[in-house]
Amino acid sequence: MSWDKVGEWLKGNAGTGAALVGSLLTGNVPGAVAAGVSLVSSATGNNDPIKALEQLQSNPETLLKLKELAFKEEDAIRKHLETMTRMDLEDQQKSHEETQKTIRSGDNAEDIVVKRTRPLQSWTSLFAAIVYVFVNDAPNTYILGALLTLPFTYAGLREVGKGSFGRMFKNG
């Protein structure tokens, strides 16, 4: 077992204060994870995540000690969480910028095959989706979603899949 499992348990079961420590343990910034491990290890006296989790689950005094440590270190914990969030948002921004560069280079290509492939795929997929809807009495949302992926992406809805619209197809 790893420390992120301890973090998940803390976030779901430990209540205010210790849940922030859980957020540190489930993050992707080594310094923040190390700070979370340090707090849990100090409270439990264990460097082993399995033993630390067992102690947190079975001994309310240990959990109380962790909450006290978290309260004392609240400013540092929040700073680590801010850093993790900022890094995640910067990563998403860079990913979006790279996607846009790739799309623009294809749209501005001099080779006619490169320039026309994406639009042609999108229009073909859109027409297939329209035909699929009219041919079937109860179209499957997974199939419809697959057929509409290319036209929606081409139309600029690349990030919608992470939001509520994407969940519509997952819950089909």
Number of Cβ atoms within 10 Å of the Cβ of 167: 11
Q: Is the pLDDT of residue 129 over 60?
A: yes
The residue that leads in pLDDT, 131 or 112, is 131
User: Where among 87, 118, 136 does a domain terminate?
Assistant: 87
- pLDDT band of 99, cuts 50, 70, 90: confident
Domain count, the chain: 2
User: DSSP 3-state assignment of 170?
Assistant: helix
The DSSP H or E segment spanning 142 is helix 141-154
Between CA 27 and CA 36 the distance in angstroms is 10
Query: Is residue 148 included in any domain, yes or no?
Result: yes
In a domain, 103, yes or no: no
Q: Do 27 and 79 fall into the same domain?
A: yes
The residue from 87, 117, 140 where one domain ends is 87
Q: Do residue 75 and residue 41 come from a single domain?
A: yes
Please tell me whether residues 80 and 7 are part of one structural domain: yes
Cα(168)–Cα(141) distance, integer angstroms: 9
Q: Are residues 117 and 166 in the same domain?
A: yes
162 and 120 share one domain: yes
Does pTM top 0.85 for this prediction?
no
Query: What is the predicted pLDDT for the residue at 127?
Result: 95
Question: Are residues 22 and 10 in contact, defined by beta-carbon separation less than 8 angstroms?
Answer: yes
Give yes or no: residues 82 and 13 share one domain: yes
Question: pLDDT tens across 9-41, in order?
Answer: 888 887 777 888 888 888 777 877 888 888 888
For residues 116 and 78, membership in a common domain is answered with no
Q: Domain check: are 82 and 138 in the same one?
A: no
In a domain, 163, yes or no: yes
Q: Which of 36, 56, 87 is the last residue of a domain?
A: 87
Range of the domain at 155: 109-171
Based on the fold, state whether residues 78 and 9 are members of the same structural domain.
yes
Residue 101 maps to a domain:
no
Classify residue 49: in a domain, yes or no: yes
**Residue pLDDT, tens place only, 46-68:** 888 888 888 888 888 888 888 88
Instruction: Identify whether 104 is part of a domain.
Output: no
Please report which residue ranges of 26-59 form alpha helices under DSSP H. Answer: 30-44, 49-58
How far is residue 45's CA from residue 83's CA, in Å, rounded to a whole number? Answer: 27
For residue 59, tell me if it sits in a domain. Answer: yes
User: Is residue 92, in this structure, part of any structural domain at all?
Assistant: no
